[in-house]
Amino acid sequence: MTSKPKVVDVHTHVYPPQYVSILKSRSKVPYVRDTTPGQPSRLIILPGEDDPSSESTARGRPIGPEYYDINKKIEFMDTHGIDISVISLANPWLDFLDRDEAKGLARDVNDAINSMCDAHPGRLFAFGALPLSAPSEVIVDEIHRLPTLKYTRGIIMGTSGLGNGLDDPELDPVYQALEQENMTIFLHPHYGLPKEVFGPRAADYGHVLPLAIGFPLETTIAVTRMILSGVFDRFPKLSVLLAHSGGTLPFLAGRLESCILHDAHYSGPGAKVESRRSVWDILKTNILLDAVVYSELGVRAAAKASGADRVLFGTDHPFFPPLEAAEGEEVKWLSVTTNYKAIGEAFGPEKEQAEAVLGGNAVRLLRLTTD
Ligand code: URA
Ligand code: ZN
């Protein structure tokens, strides 16, 4: 008898209790802000989100137990037919901590998230977090500790690296350790684009510009800088899962490759770069794309760019909850049903490909078994 295909969510976040305590103890971004009595606290994490001139809808988001209570994650999974979740710390991870705090908290957070997985065996796996403000030896030590955490299969990180982006040669020891330990990087945006890009009326549009445009472009620029600086030539086995289907990378990959082929820095007689792997090769070998793109068109582009065997279902829980659900009411989230529908439509009668994207790819690529 064949078993039912598994549904795996690779893009789903949590803040463990010790991280929430830090957010509650702070009064500048990132922090949790208590508002009017009777109203839920607000989670203020994005750059510029704390501007008092902003409309209230652009000033953070309500934070409830779905952000830190792992039982709420399991309830959400059950409601949405998700068998396994690969949980990761939500942004801004440990980026804002000073070097001494970062080292200790990375260990605590990684242990706490691994323990959450242990409490629900078979249902949860994890991406850890790195103490990126600490010296690189400390970061590398934490990477080498990750395989001792039974459920950890990679790390989540943002686009700032050690402070100078992901094309920084100082990151090479980090990439080398991740490659050696077979730990996937889940590359996730947080910083968006400079606010000037969105103009003086940006706050009138809530979070739409930074989330719909800033986030995906931030990811696109970060991974493009990795490609251009030769990270994947130096670390050909490095595995990078890009949030939100790679931003705009699937759509722009052809233009990127063409610009490289027409740039004297990379190509032609005086080229400064001796050899390089093509963007298409990197997409099909090193890059994994989540399917958090909310449209058939986006899922098809992702599958065309990296292969349907490298696209992985995700939800972005607990972000993007339904705006109108009553407290405690069990409803399916539009953000999730839209992504299910997009995968179904993208593959049509190719049921096996849809099943692979919904879970099989994640089980295989992230080794989601415990024996
Ligand atoms: N907003 C965030 O800040 N993070 C996410 O992961 C999704 C939405
Ligand atoms: Zn996310």
Which atom belonging to ligand 1 lies closest to the Cα atom of 188?
A: 6
| pLDDT at residue 39 in the model | 82
- Determine if ligand 1 sits within 6 Å of the CB of residue 45: yes
Q: Which two tokens stand for residue 112?
A: 């706490």
- Nearest to 321, CA basis, from 307, 305, 309, 335: 335
- Name the residue of 32, 49, 91, 186 whose CB sits within 8 Å of the most ligand 1 atoms, as the mutation to test its pocket: 91
pLDDT tens per residue, range 296-317: 999 999 999 999 999 999 999 9
Residue minimizing CA distance to atom 7 of ligand 1: 319
Residue 9 forms beta bridges with which residues? 85
How many angstroms is it from 175 CA to the middle of ligand 1?
25
Predicted ipTM?
0.96
Work out the angle at residue 244's Cα, subtended by the Cα atoms of residues 239 and 248, and round it to the nearest 5 degrees.
Answer: 90
How many angstroms is it from 61 CA to the middle of ligand 2?
14
Residue minimizing CA distance to atom 8 of ligand 1: 319
Q: What does DSSP assign to residue 311?
A: E
| pLDDT at residue 48 in the model | 83
> How buried is residue 48: exposed, middle or buried, by Cβ count under 10 Å (0-12/13-18/19+)?
middle
- Name the residue of 13, 50, 316 whose CB sits within 8 Å of the most ligand 1 atoms, as the mutation to test its pocket: 316
Q: What domains are there in the chain, each with its CATH number?
A: 69-365 (3.20.20.140)
What's the pTM value of the predicted model, to 2 decimals? 0.97
Residue with tokens 């065996």: 121
Helix, strand or coil, per DSSP, at residue 32: strand
pLDDT tens per residue, range 188-201: 999 999 999 999 99
Which atom belonging to ligand 1 lies closest to the Cα atom of 11?
A: 6
Q: Which two tokens stand for residue 35?
A: 């508002």
